[in-house]
Structure 1
Amino acid sequence: MKTSLPIFVRNSMYALRGGFLVRPLLISLALGLAGMILSSAEERFPVVSAWVPDALFPSHADPQVAQVMLSTIASSIMTVVSIVFAILLMTLTLASMQFSPRILVNFVRDHVTQWTLGVFLGTFLYCMAAMPAARSLPQPFAPVATVTGALALALASVMGLIYFIHHISRAVSVNHIVDRIARETERVIDELMPRKRGAVARGEDMEFEPEETEFAVLNVRSGYICFIDTTRLLKLAKAHKLRIRVLRPIGHFAPEGAPLFTVSHKSRLTAELDRDFRSAFGIGPMRTMQQDVEFGVLQIVDIALKAISPAVNDPSTAINCIDQLTSILIRWAERAPPATIFSDPPYVVRVILPWPDFKHLLDTAFEQIRHYSANDVAVSLRLLRAMDDLAATLNDDSMRKEVTLCGRRVVANCATRLDPTNLKRLEDRLASLEARSPSFATRGA
């Protein structure tokens, strides 16, 4: 259990910080505790309420006024919370139906929504915690300073409600949704691949030591691979002189009983070491953005496919998605994917991780859009422009070749569906793309 704690903590923190549980709960509990402490301190030390001016709270000795104000604020806040968040859930349901059900996680992770819910519920708990202090018997007491704090929280709630409505009205717009997904995907790329391409040596060309036949270790829990603790895998492999080959990349589904990874020496794999290796894999019921760049790309592709479907017919949204996908691909292409991890001494491969290459990510980003946009010249033209922009940033001719081949497939897909004038526009843009790759210096290449 101790060995699996780090990966458990990471997965739990990722899940909880993106939901309506941790941040709103902490804020509401903190405010509720503040109401209880302040009312108790005010009763014990009367000087606390002496600074409240009579103009703000004229009846310092009437507890009924304090009770009415606290109960009014509490009931009003809960009414607002019920109505606003019911409408919010309905809005999110409609947005998920129109764009993609995968975008719901982005709204749940929104910090403004979490803070708004936390302040609303915290104001309610603050008033409820302070209300018992306002009493008529056996000795009348009115917690005027605590009530003043409740008024301040009520004002903050009103201002927060106005900003929340403004924020949500922007957050449900498709351009904002796509931009948020793209920025989060780029942050994952920056964290996963911090070095520029060519700055580090790659391990694909290394010779493996001739050892025993690799032994497959089976998965014991069905789910998606959300995270792999590469540091832990490398440490264990070095300590036990093993070579670990991970068979499934991040984001793939691993059914129970299927091979998850292999080890080079079966005789060294004890039951305890087997548990240690498994603890480096975070497996959950759904894909996440912890290390899964492809998942971010797929979310944007889903929105683009919905946009160009006959039921929606919104090519402008699809074009916006293509623009953001281009930005992600450019960020990926300039980084060095950590495909292989070496151990000491040098040139001894200990851990092999299957990361998606450029061709795979390119196909994931553009192939489905290319297939379903054959009848839409605007989307097809933007695809070719995106590929031209991408090719202009590449220094690797093999990557430019893959981009050019993808552009050729776009034109071939539209050849029988567009009129000659629009097809000529696509061919002209393809010629510009081909000119960027030495492999396609001529159209006959």
Structure 2
Amino acid sequence: MIQKLKYKIKKIFIHQLKDLGTFLGAVYALVIGSALMVLEYTIDFGIYFKINIFDTYSRLITVSNVLISILIGISLTTFSVIFVVMQLASSQFSPRILRHFLITDFKMQKFIGLFVGTISLCVLPQLASVFFYQRPFLLTLFVGSLFAFYGLAWSYPKMITYLSVNMNVSSITNRIKIDMMEEIANLYPENWTVGKNLLYKRAIIHPDKFKIQILSPFETGYLDSVNYKKLEKLSEFILKSDVGSLFENAYQKPVVGEFIMKDTTTLLALVFSEEIKPSQINILKQEVNIIVKDTFKVAQFRSHTQDINFGVRKLVDIAIKAISPAVNDPTTCLNCIDQIGEIAKELAVKEFPSADSRTLGSKKIQINEFNFEEFIDFCYDQIFQWGKQDPTVVKRIIRSIRIILPLVNNPFNLKILIQQVEEMDLLEIYNLSNYKNGNLKISKEKLISIEMELANFRQKALRQIKVLELKGILDHYETNHYSTNLVIISAERKQ
């Protein structure tokens, strides 16, 4: 419970507050500055400390202005260099990865907040002295100067060290993975166990049913998130309306992260057992649109919120660019495959669909989500497509999937992982005939190593199938079906 609360607070700070560094700086300068100036206005510190406040204040202004100038100069220089490095790095990472480097890194935002706030805190008393010229705000200026000195002597070197570490590709990919793991834990809190559905398939709307389509009222962008707690109001409202007895289900059409067009993309499809009157449709649409505006969030860019595929997309982008001839950095690609493998491992043991989807499903609202099969395809297909001629990349893909196999108790997920490797048709590419014909530009040792890696994978897959058989899981699902979804039942029978 505490972990979930921390997660929500973090998401509010990172995703809800725009320009967080400036926000922190403004709050820090206004709160501290206002408190100190009010204190100085009511108490004459010159009498207490027996100093000439006007003379000390005028001398401190010079020192403060020098500190501000240095702080502004090094800040502008540093961030200019950062942006140049980012532009150069975009050939390896892509703008999608680097766009939110400063925005989503909370520690980086604190550095920005300190610099902006310190400059504001030094300027604030000088600005106030224009209106209260007989009251120099010495204490406020002194505190601001101390913060400026602290920023130069301690925070700035610390920020440079932090940047040098966190702009490294391993740090970037690891941070993406950590964000995704947190999102998975939030969306899929329960692990799969025997007795639960083997797989998740989208419910299909019968073509003969009467449907009302709710189009997007938002400006064009990406579906950033859906507030599922508020979405519950949808079925509550419809069931209480005069058409409630005819209402069957509401279907969320786009997946989170999908591109949304204003007045074009269908956000919801409301299904009724019979056709309802045009006047009732108009009233229903007006009320549902109010709920939709409060429930769906469309943004200019995609984010990690409820969108695991976005994090994977970034890792896949880095991997593909790393093995391109322009970059030629296979080590980075291998790092990305390892991180993707860890995300896939976490999802392989989870129950699908998400907890929110199951809750809303019982309330006649069907959520549209990716299933495990689509997710695994999304993880590996493009990397294999662009890296299949590189035996190192191919072996790492096989290995990252092989490591997951012993952890998977869900027969369907196990089948998907095995299928992912088998459908690569590696022996069609890496065989002795292609090697002798010169179609493979690799050594015979590399060819043998891929064959051995594939053999090890198949051996471990057979071993895990045997484990599930001994546990009685395979026999259990041969005779039992837990879903009423015909699409799922059909897919289960094909296992």
What is the letter of the counterpart of residue 314 of structure 1?
D
Identify the residue that residue 113 of structure 2 maps to in structure 1. 118
- Normalised by the length of structure 1, the TM-score is 0.84
Distance 1:196 1:146 in 2: 55
* RMSD between superposed Cα atoms in Å: 3.4
The one-letter code of the counterpart of 2:397 is L
Q: After TM superposition, give the deviation of residue 204 of structure 1 in Å.
A: 6.0
2:419 matched to 1:405?
yes
Between 194-203 and 178-187, report the one with greater CA deviation.
Answer: 194-203
Flag the 1:374–1:12 CA change in 2: closer, same or farther, 3 A.
same
- For residues 328-343 of structure 1, the aligned pairs below 5 Å read 328-338=343-353, 340-341=357-358
The corresponding residue for 2:188 is 193
Q: How does 1:17-416 map to 2 (within 5 A)?
A: 17=17, 19=18, 21-47=19-45, 50=48, 61-104=55-98, 105-131=100-126, 143-158=137-152, 159-198=154-193, 202=197, 212-221=209-218, 222-241=220-239, 242=247, 243-256=249-262, 257-265=264-272, 267=276, 269=281, 270-279=284-293, 280-338=295-353, 340-341=357-358, 350-408=364-422, 409=424, 411-412=426-427, 414-415=429-430, 416=434
What amino acid sits opposite 1:263 in the alignment? L
Does the 8 Å CA contact 1:247/1:262 hold for their aligned counterparts? Answer: yes
Deviations 1:374-413 (A, max 9, x none): 2211111111111100212211233222222222316246
Change (3 A) 1:240 1:341: farther
**Deviation of the 1:162 alpha carbon:** 0.6
Is 1:421 aligned with 2:418? no
Unaligned runs of 5+ in 2: 1-9, 240-246, 435-439, 467-495
Q: What amino acid is aligned across from residue 272 of structure 1 in structure 2?
A: Q
1:341 Cα deviation after fit? 3.3
CA distance in 2, matches of 1:258, 1:80: 47
Task: Classify 1:98/1:43 alpha carbon distance in 2 versus 1 (closer, same or farther; 3 Å).
Answer: same
Q: 1:150 to 1:12 in 2, by over 3 A?
A: closer
Q: Cα distance 1:127–1:13, how it changes in 2: closer, same or farther (>3 A)? A: closer
Gap change, CA 1:336 and 1:89, over 3 Å in 2: same
C-alpha deviation, 1:369, in angstroms: 0.9
On the 8 A contact 1:289/1:296 being kept in 2, the answer is: yes
Decide whether aligned partners of structure 1 residues 247 and 36 sit closer, same or farther in structure 2, where only a CA change above 3 A counts.
closer
CA distances 1:311-347 after superposition (whole Å, capped 9, x unpaired)? 111111111101100110111112223354356xxx9
CA distance in 1, matches of 2:121, 2:101: 30
**Does the 8 Å contact 1:380/1:410 carry over to 2?**
no
Query: What displacement does 1:277 show?
Result: 4.3
CA gap 1:144/1:118 in 2 versus in 1, 3 angstroms: same
Distance 1:422 1:403, change over 3 A: same
1:169 Cα deviation after fit: 0.6
* Residues 1:69 and 1:388: Cα distance change in structure 2 (over 3 Å): same
Cα gap change, 1:67 to 1:223, in 2 (>3 Å):
closer
Contact 1:61/1:142 (<8 A) preserved? no
CA distance in 2 between counterparts of 1:119 and 1:404 reads 51
Structure 2 contact 251–367 (Cα < 8 Å) conserved: yes
1:368 counterpart letter in structure 2: Q
Q: Distance in 2 between matches of 1:227 and 1:207?
A: 21
Conserved 8 A contact 2:121-2:141 = no
The aligned length equals: 422
Residue 77 of structure 1: CA displacement?
Answer: 2.1
CA distance in 1 between partners of 2:191 and 2:257 (Å):
24
TM-aligned CA distance change 1:412 to 1:245, over 3 Å: farther
**Cα separation, 2, equivalents of 1:208 and 1:300:** 32
1:59-86: per-residue Cα shift (whole Å, max 9, x none)?
8844421221222222222222222222
Please give the secondary structure, in 2, of the residue aligned with 1:98. Answer: coil
Alignment-mate amino acid for residue 44 of structure 2: P
When residues 405 and 271 of structure 1 are mapped into structure 2, their CA distance, relative to the original with a 3 A threshold, is closer
Q: Which amino acid aligns with 2:86?
A: L
Which secondary structure state, in structure 2, belongs to the residue aligned with residue 335 of structure 1?
A: coil
TM superposition shift of 1:271: 2.8
TM-superposed deviation, 1:151: 3.1
Residue 250 to residue 389, structure 1, CA distance change in 2 (3 Å): same
Q: Secondary structure at the match of 1:261?
A: strand
Distance change >3 Å, CA 128–CA 160, structure 1 → 2: same
Counterpart of 1:315 in structure 2: which amino acid? P
* CA gap 1:25/1:434 in 2 versus in 1, 3 angstroms: same
Which residue type is aligned with residue 262 of structure 1?
A
CA distance in 1, matches of 2:336, 2:32: 46
- Return closer, same or farther for 1:400/1:33 CA change in 2, 3 Å cut-off: closer
Amino acid corresponding to residue 233 of structure 2 in structure 1? K
**Comparing 258-267 with 151-160, which one deviates more in the overlay?**
258-267
| Counterpart code for 1:259 | T
How far apart are the structure 2 equivalents of 1:342 and 1:39? Answer: 53
What is the distance in 2 between the residues matched to 1:258 and 1:62? 66
Could you list the runs of 5+ residues in structure 1 that have no partner in the other structure?
A: 1-9
Give the percent of matched residue pairs that are identical in Structure 1 and Structure 2: 21
- Distance in 1 (CA, whole Å) between partners of 2:202 and 2:77 is 62
CA contact (8 A) 1:42 1:48 kept: no
Aligned residue for 2:123, secondary structure, equals helix
Q: Which has the higher helix share?
A: 2
Q: Structure 1 residues 372, 440: closer, same or farther in 2, change over 3 A?
A: farther
TM-score (norm 2): 0.76
